[in-house]
Structure formats: structure tokens, C-alpha cells
Amino acid sequence: MDWKSKRIRTILETALVEDKAARDVTTALTIDPRLRASGTIVAKQPCVVSGLGCIPAFFEIFGKLNPATSPAQARFEVVSHPEIFDGVRVKKGQTLAVIRHNAAAILSCERVILNLIQRMSGIATLTNEFVKAVAGTRTKVLDTRKTIPGLRALDKYAVSCGGGVNHRLNLEDGILIKNNHIALGGGLPAALEHALKGRKPGQIVQVEVRSQEELDQAIAGGAESILLDNMTPAAVKKAVKQIRSALPGVPIEASGNMSLKTVRSYALAGVDFVSVGALTHSAVAVDLSMRITASLS
């Protein structure tokens, strides 16, 4: 993750502005502006870590939102154990990072830092559970576009921290003919034909199928990737056999209400990928806390 990219910095700055972090009245009225402190982020449950890079980025942006801050007050340091980084699983009680900074700055940024790392680590942790569920098979776990508006880049990075694979980042990123395209595009054969003729060099045309008829049409039309949607594991296994025979080498994906209880049965049906919307739309934020204590330097 490039935490210095303009896109990511905009997301982080928006979070600080939304919380009016630079106008924290409680901290301004109660904390000596010269006081320095240490903030220790602690995991209150086992989890896979994601988002640690946001910490220094938030403080750099916060400093720009407070141009009157003196150099001494703006000085900060973020320290973590060499073995703690994005993608690592930690135990309950482990320290993720220690922040040494002006006390007021830590207090004003505390909530946005925790909010982001908690959400990202929640996504990474859930993703890792799905990855472990299909371990030993050929199947990889994909995310979807079912992300929080504005946070997709962070959500998808968190998926990668959990061992998952990113699908399309946006609608320009790939061609996927879904049920509504089929319904409005004159049927699957017509939609597929138009996509194959009009696509740019290097673009793969993937087709979502929901029935035996659509599967037959996708194979006959030369689909370059097939997504089997809302089928039973038995139906998926049968479809995989048909696709492998007719279109060797074509990537096969299964989707539709994937859960930790069912995902392995789909993986054992022989698909290359399972896409799981729950990774980003239903992940529960992990429980983290920040312990802040005054320091002498």
C-alpha cells in the first residue's frame, strides 16, 4: 500500500476533517500543548493486522492541518516490533505499535487511527479464515466490489493482507457480463459477442452464468472466464467438468452467499476461485485499544 499516494492521502485527510481533529476542543482545554506522550496500540483479540502504515500518514496530514504547530510539538515516532507488520497474525494482548508524539496530537488522532486499523484488520482476519478454509485445494479467495464507498483501495489492500486476491478494482478494470447485462443486452449470446468484438487488447471477457442453458451459451460463445453464480456445490462440480472439457484452461469462479461453512465444498468442486462479498461488506472490526501515557521526551 502506497500511503503517500494522493488517493490514499485524500481518504485519510477526509477522515481527520470529518472528525474535526484539528479543532479538538476537549483536548485544547484540558491538555498542556507542550506535553508529550506515548500511545500504545494493543490487540484485545487475536487478529490479522492491516493498516499500520496509516499511523505516520495520519500524523503527517494532521501536522499540515495545524500549521501553527511548532517543530518540537510536531516531532513524532512510530515504533513496532520487527515481527509485527501488515499480514501478521497477533495474539490478544500483543502490542501493534507505539506512538511517541505531542500528547494533544495523539488524542486528536486516536479515534480515526483506531477506526481504520480496526476495520482493515477485521477484513484481513475474516479473509484469512476463508483462505484457511480452502487450504490444500487449488482455489483462491477473491474479493468483490462490495466495499464501503470511498474506501475500496483500503478494503482491498486489507483483503490482500489476509491472503486473499483482489478482483476488479472498478468497472474499468475488467469485463464481467452479469445477469442484468444479459437481460438488457439481448441475451447472453448477444452480450458476449458484443463484448468480445468491442473489448480492448488484453481484456478478458468473463461471463456470469446461473443455469445450464446459460452455461451452454457461454461455452458456445467462447467465454474466456466463467463465473458460476448461486449454484450448489454438486452443480458446480458438474459445470467444472463440462467447462474443462470444452474450454481447457479457462478460469472458473464460483460465487453467491459463500460462507465459512460452505466455501470448502465449492473449492473441492474444482473451481479456480471463489468470490466472497462478505470479506468487505460484513467483516466485523477487530477490538483494539490505545493506551496513552505522559512521557518526558
Average pLDDT, the chain: 96
Domain topology for 131-281:
TIM Barrel (3.20.20)
| Whether residue 297 has pLDDT greater than 90 | no
The answer to whether the beta carbons of residues 228 and 236 sit under 8 Å apart is: yes
pLDDT tens digit sequence for 247-259: 999 999 999 989 9
Per-residue confidence at 68, pLDDT binned at 50, 70, 90? low
Q: What is the pTM of this model?
A: 0.95
Q: What is the pLDDT of residue 121?
A: 98
Report the C-alpha dihedral over residues 16, 21, 23, 29, rounded to 10 degrees: 180
Q: Name the segment(s) of the chain with CATH classification 3.90.1170.20.
A: 6-123+284-295
Active site residue 111: yes
pLDDT band at 73 (very low <50, low <70, confident <90, very high): confident
Is residue 241 part of the annotated active site? The answer reads no
Every domain range in the chain assigned CATH 3.20.20.70: 131-281
Q: Round the CA-based radius of gyration of the chain to a whole number and report it.
A: 23
Residues 258-271 have a mean pLDDT of 97
Catalytic-residue membership of 264: no
* Given 9, 178, 199, 237, the catalytic residue: 178
Q: In what order do the strands lie in the sheet with 288-295?
A: 77-79, 95-102, 36-43, 288-295
Which single residue is written with the C-alpha cell 477485521?
Answer: 122
Confidence of residue 23 (pLDDT cuts 50, 70, 90): very high
208 is catalytic: yes
CATH number of 6-123+284-295: 3.90.1170.20
pLDDT at 230: 97
Is residue 91 annotated as a catalytic residue, yes or no? no
The predicted-structure confidence for 84-135, as pLDDT tens digits, reads as follows 999 999 999 999 999 999 999 999 999 999 999 999 999 999 999 999 999 9
In this structure, the strands spanning 89-90 and 140-142 are unpaired
**Residue 31 has what pLDDT?**
95
Q: Which residues make Cβ contacts (< 8 Å) with residue 208, sequence separation at least 6?
A: 176, 177, 178, 179, 182, 227, 229, 255
8 Å CB contact between 227 and 218: no
